[in-house]
Structure 1
Amino acid sequence: MTGRHAAPMPDSIRRFMGTTAAHPARGVVCPWCRASVQQPCVIPSSGKQPGRVHQQRMDAWAQLTACCTTCQVTPGVPCHTDGRALDNGRVHAARHAEAEVTAA
């Protein structure tokens, strides 16, 4: 055999196969730029893609998928400090860590 040839791949599968894995937070709508599920985040003023997921989208994903070990809330419940929800939908760092473990 003198060379390797790639097997043909249907376009319906090829679009899901990228060179890099998408962040699991792309499974939710971005609250900042309103990017749809599985679509990359964009900078609203310019329409350019920043190359990473917005922090607000990562917070929304963590809140939806993981328990918070800091404030002891279940998935879907906002994080809180002293009974008050964190500003702008933010979550504790421990919840991000838990979401990453859950996604792996």
Structure 2
Amino acid sequence: MARRPSAPMPESLRHFFRAQQHPARSVPCTHCGARAHRPCIVPSNKRQLPQPHPCRVSDWARQTACCPACQAEPGTACHDDGKPLATVHARRYQEAEETCA
């Protein structure tokens, strides 16, 4: 029997189903290679994780919020006296969560 093509899911329903996920899943994970809106996995055994990797959360905060500690714009890394940091300041995480809510 021929399979009928499925209709695309309306954006209002898609938002409702994704509302229960961590907002950091909107960006790809640099640690495990998970695509955007997909769960992080353990690379060795492909087990799905309930929470995203910390580097994914850091990338999400970097892309979505300005840093109140060093005034870094969205998309740029936090810095400490001109030296770029590998992670973001704790206040930037809070700012990203407030922006998302």
- Under TM normalisation by the shorter chain, which class is it? 0.7 to 0.9
C-alpha separation between the residues in 1 aligned to 2:100 and 2:17?
18
Instruction: Report the CA distance between 1:12 and its aligned residue.
Output: 3.5
Structure 2 CA distance for partners of 1:95 and 1:84, relative to 1, 3 Å: same
What is aligned with 2:63?
Answer: 64
Paired residues, number: 92
TM-score, normalised by the number of residues in structure 2? 0.81
What is aligned with 1:101?
Answer: 98
Rg larger for: 1
**Runs of 4+ displaced beyond 3 Å:** 10-13, 15-20
What CA deviation, in whole Å up to 9, does each residue of 1:6-61 have, x standing for no partner? xxxx8946x84549701111110001111001000001111111211110000000
C-alpha separation between the residues in 2 aligned to 1:19 and 1:75?
23
* Gaps in structure 1 of 5+ consecutive residues: 1-9
What is aligned with 2:3?
Answer: none
C-alpha separation between the residues in 1 aligned to 2:27 and 2:81?
28
TM-align CA RMSD = 2.0
TM-score, normalised by the number of residues in structure 1? 0.79
* Gaps in structure 2 of 5+ consecutive residues: 1-6
* 2:98 partner amino acid: V
> Quick check: 1:91 aligned with 2:88?
yes
What is aligned with 2:4?
Answer: none
Equivalence map 1:5-84=2 (5 Å):
12=9, 16=14, 18=17, 21-84=20-83
What CA deviation, in whole Å up to 9, does each residue of 1:59-87 have, x standing for no partner? 00000000000111110110011111112
* 2:83 partner amino acid: R
